[in-house]
């Protein structure tokens, strides 16, 4: 299963670099993941993301994420497909908020289905129409395991690059 997820993540990166289209964005992030189960706990995660183009003026976008959560005893590999809603802001606004939600596969030796929802914002890096933006987001994940539902809250900060014009 790990090879399948690693292969899917590699395909995601290759798809993003092979044929950039207008509005396509690649990104990476890191952060803590808080367990919302009784007893809590904190793990660390890395995230790779690909946002697909959207028509000018359309606030809805789509994003595919691959995440590795470094947990004890097994790492958790996560792949999600998400819809984004970008709130309207003025063209001069430096902070651009969004909400995100979707579904995915969660694998740590077994494979489970899960859903996620959250909010975030992007911030420009540089001046003018820079292709790079920093982002910060928080998402709630509910993982439907065999005998219980696991709940987590990853907080992610990272950078995104526009790869198409």
pLDDT tens for residues 48-57? Answer: 999 986 666 7
**Mean pLDDT score, 137-162:** 95
Average pLDDT taken over every residue of the chain: 85
Tokens coding 8: 């899917």
Residue 125 in this model has a pLDDT that exceeds 50:
yes
What local confidence, expressed as pLDDT, does residue 23 receive?
Answer: 66
Other Cβ atoms less than 10 A from the Cβ of 140: the count is: 15
Right CATH for 2-16+29-162 from 3.20.80.10, 3.90.25.10, 3.90.550.10, 2.40.160.20: 2.40.160.20
So what's the pLDDT on residue 104?
A: 97
What confidence score (pLDDT) does residue 74 get? Answer: 87
Q: Is the pLDDT of residue 8 over 80?
A: no
Q: Is pLDDT above 60 for 102?
A: yes
HSE at residue 95, side-chain half, CA atoms within 13 A, is 6
Neighbour-count burial of 92, counting CB atoms closer than 10 A to its CB (0-12 exposed, 13-18 middle, 19+ buried)? exposed
Beta bridge partners of residue 51, listed in sequence order: 25, 63
Phi and psi at residue 19, to the nearest 5° = -145, 80
Q: What is the dihedral of CA 51, 66, 104, 72, to 10 degrees?
A: -150
Q: Please, which residues have CB within 8 angstroms of residue 5's CB and are 6 or more apart in sequence?
A: 66, 77, 79, 105, 107
Assess whether pLDDT exceeds 90 at residue 164.
no
**Alpha carbons within 13 A on the beta-carbon side of 132:** 7
């Amino acid at each position: 299963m790990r090879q399948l997820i690693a292969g899917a993540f590699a395909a995601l990166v290759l798809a993003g670099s092979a044929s950039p289209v207008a509005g396509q964005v690649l990104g990476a992030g890191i952060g803590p993941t808080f367990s919302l189960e009784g007893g809590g706990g904190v793990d660390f995660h890395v995230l790779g993301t690909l946002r697909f183009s959207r028509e000018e003026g359309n606030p809805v976008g789509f994003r595919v994420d691959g995440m590795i959560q470094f947990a004890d005893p097994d790492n958790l590999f996560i792949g999600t497909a998400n819809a984004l809603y970008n709130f309207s802001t003025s063209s001069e606004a430096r902070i651009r908020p969004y909400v995100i939600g979707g579904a995915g596969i969660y694998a740590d030796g077994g494979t489970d289905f899960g859903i996620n929802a959250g909010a975030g914002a992007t911030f420009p890096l540089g001046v003018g129409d820079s292709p790079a933006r920093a982002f910060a987001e928080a998402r709630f994940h509910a993982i439907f395991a065999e005998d219980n539902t696991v709940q987590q809250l990853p907080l992610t900060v990272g950078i995104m690059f526009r790869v198409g014009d």
